[in-house]
Structure formats: C-alpha cells, structure tokens
Amino acid sequence: MNPQQAEPWAAPGNPPMSTEGPTAPPASMLDSVAGYESIAIGGEERYLPPPVYPVTIAEGGQPQPVQQWSIASIDEDAARQALIKFASDHVTYSRRPAEEMVFKALKPYNMYRYRLESFTESRSPEWKSEPYRNQIIDNCGFGPPPPPWEVAVDIPKMFEKSKKKIQVPQTASVKECHKCMATGKVPCNKCFQTGQVKCWVCLGKGNRLGNDRCDHCMGGGKLSCKHCSGYGCQECNECQGQGQLFFYIQLTVKWENNKFEQVVEQQCGFPTQVLSKVNGQQLFSDQQIQVYPVMNFPESRIKQASQQGIQEHWAQFGKSSRIIQQRHSIELIPVTEVHFQWKGKDHTYFVYGTENKVHAPEYPGKTCTIM
Ligand SMILES: [Zn+2]
Ligand SMILES: [Zn+2]
Ligand SMILES: [Zn+2]
C-alpha cells in the first residue's frame, strides 16, 4: 500500500485553515457614529433611557371627577332574574330555589375601581450587517444621523402593544467581508480545501479484504467532497458570496401598554377579584400625555390608589422608556348582597356589575336534582 495515497489530506502540501476570518465583525470595522458610540453588534435588545423633556403642567386645567352621582340599586325582580339565569347557566343546578325564594333584604354596596394605563415607547439601537446587494448607501455624507430618540417613527395604535425595526438614516456603509477577505468564498472544512475525502468503504486504503480493489473509489482511496462538490471552497455565508457587507444601525422601537388597577372594596365578604370581568358605571376618565392624581373624590382610598398608580408607573417605566400617553378612570361598580329564604333556611348571594352577574357559592339549588 502506498502511504501517500492512503492519507492525502495529511500531506504537507495542503494549506492550513487560516484564510477564514472571525464570525462577528470586529468592532474596528464599525464607524463611530455620534450618539451611537456604545452600541453592540446584534445580541440582546438594550433599551436606552429617554431624554428629559420639560413637562408643562396645566395649572388648574386638570379635569376632576364629578362629586355627585346616583346609581340605582337593583330591585327584587332584577335580583331574581339574575339568580335564575345563574342557575340556568349551570347544567346541574336547579332553578327552583331562584324561582321560589322569599326575599329578606337587599343590601347595596358601591365599589370603586381605579384604572390607569401608561402607553410607553422604548428604543434599542444595534449594528446590523447583511450581504451587500446594491442597497442605497445612506451615509454621513447627507449629514449627521439623528440621535436615537430623534429618529422619526410613526406611533402605531395608542394603548396597543407593538414593535418596529427601523434603519437609522445616515448610518449605512459598505465594507469588505471580514470572514472571506472579500473573496465571497471560504475554505471547505470537510475536505480541508482539497476537494477530496477519504473513501468511506475502504477507509482510504484503496483495497478491500483479500486485497481486491475497492470499486467504490476505483482503488484511489479518495472520493470527491460532497460538501463543496469537489471545489475545496464554499460560498461565504456571511456575505452570501457577495464579498461585501452592508452595515447600518437598526433601531428597535417597542410600544407597551402598562396597566394598574385597584378596587376599593367594602368589607362584605365579596371576592373583589371577580370584578375584573365586569363593567361599572364610569364616573370619571381622562387621557393626556401625563395624567395627574385624582384629588377631588369623596372616597379617599381612590385618591390614594391614583397617587400610588401614577407614582409607580413613573418609577417603573419613566427611566427606560418614554411615556407617550396615559389614561385613567374611576368606575362605580354596583354590588348587591341579597338575603333570602328557601324551604325555611337563610341564604345569601351577590349580584354585581352593570351586567348583573351572580356570585353564589352556596346556592341551595346546587345539591337539588334537576326537575
Ligand atoms: Zn474505496
Ligand atoms: Zn470540500
Ligand atoms: Zn464573505
């Protein structure tokens, strides 16, 4: 057996794997752009603090809630209809207790709900590169690029989450590809640029057991490299064979709607968390770039909730994003505690929300057989 034939890939004539550059573009390749000095190439989104804008406070011009309102508490008929519907909505419940009950008392409670929404925008710039295919090179020749927070971006629908990626104007450039040294090709790492690999049938020996010639490689011990079709090199995946890369700064702009909600409850054993699914009667609402805590409301806990919510939102979102718009509201949610008797026994349930939903965990018709 000829040893040179057996291992041609180890022959000293083969060039070492040194012509391929690093994967990520070196930082030195990137132009220093004013306002974007410390940004990274790809990777995690890192949101920038917003610039500080002077806030104009409208003196005395803030709308405040009305002081007087009245809300009709439900009557016995509505209370009964609500409970009948509740029983009907549960396949295994009997409607009889609802139809036959004798009312003892209806006790109305007013629950208030304060809701705050802060619609925020955050911006994260990063360097991007892609194969150069005659993209328009919008570079510094047209003037300095706008700083991250001055790039013009159309705001999508208010109070709805969304995201946009934008090429920052005047940041584009074209560079030679660092990975293939602008050749568009990289060496094949399967055959070490020889275009040939060891025959897998005879393991490169050229013959088989009993010294028969290997008919797979015709005794040569080598096969053409499938990976590079025998060329010894492949298209550079960084520039997709173009030899040049198009660089630019991409700005990721993210909009989010952040919510704060608090129900001022009355101690009546009613689980207030179920109120999130129902509507109330709106007593007050306001929408502005910046809303102000509600000052003028008879229930002091609503004033506290408003103050707390607005403070929390500014502390949480004011540093890493820009609050574009806020809106807040106060709703009055009617809750009625109903006491009734059925078959000589006392029971209670609650009717709540403008939808007259029922909360009746101890409804006596639960254990009845369907009539
Ligand atoms: Zn072979
Ligand atoms: Zn190859
Ligand atoms: Zn390349």
Distance 208 CA to ligand 1 centre (A): 8
Place of tokens 């139809």: 99
Q: Would you write out the chain's pLDDT as a tens digit for each of its 371 residues?
A: 343 343 333 333 333 344 455 567 777 777 778 778 778 776 677 888 887 765 554 444 466 665 556 566 789 999 999 999 999 999 899 999 999 999 999 999 888 999 999 999 999 999 999 999 999 888 767 678 899 999 999 989 999 999 999 999 999 999 999 999 999 999 998 999 999 999 999 899 888 777 789 989 999 999 999 999 999 999 999 999 999 999 999 999 999 999 999 998 777 788 888 888 899 989 999 999 999 999 888 888 999 999 999 999 999 998 889 999 999 999 999 999 999 999 999 999 999 999 999 999 999 988 655 44
Q: What is the pLDDT of residue 47?
A: 83
Distance 228 CA to ligand 1 centre (A): 19
Per-state percent for the chain, helix, strand, coil, to nearest 5: 20, 30, 50
Q: What is the pLDDT of residue 16?
A: 39
Nearest ligand, CA of residue 199? Answer: 1
Distance 206 CA to ligand 1 centre (A): 5
Nearest ligand, CA of residue 180? Answer: 3
DSSP strands (E only) in the chain: 102-131, 162-167, 173-176, 185-187, 196-198, 222-224, 233-235, 244-264, 281-288, 322-342, 345-352, 357-359
* Cα separation, 346 vs 343, whole angstroms: 9
Q: Is the pTM of this model over 0.75?
A: no
Q: What is the pLDDT of residue 58?
A: 47
Nearest ligand, CA of residue 175? Answer: 3
Residue 141 DSSP label: G
Distance 132 CA to ligand 3 centre (A): 10
Nearest ligand, CA of residue 233? Answer: 2
Q: What is the pLDDT of residue 73?
A: 73
Distance 29 CA to ligand 3 centre (A): 14
* Cα separation, 19 vs 182, whole angstroms: 11
Nearest ligand, CA of residue 195? Answer: 2
Distance 215 CA to ligand 1 centre (A): 6
Residue 54, both tokens: 């002077």
Distance 192 CA to ligand 1 centre (A): 19
Nearest ligand, CA of residue 218? Answer: 1
Distance 128 CA to ligand 3 centre (A): 15
Q: Are the CB atoms for 225 and 190 separated by under 8 Å?
A: yes
Nearest ligand, CA of residue 213? Answer: 1
* Cα separation, 43 vs 28, whole angstroms: 18
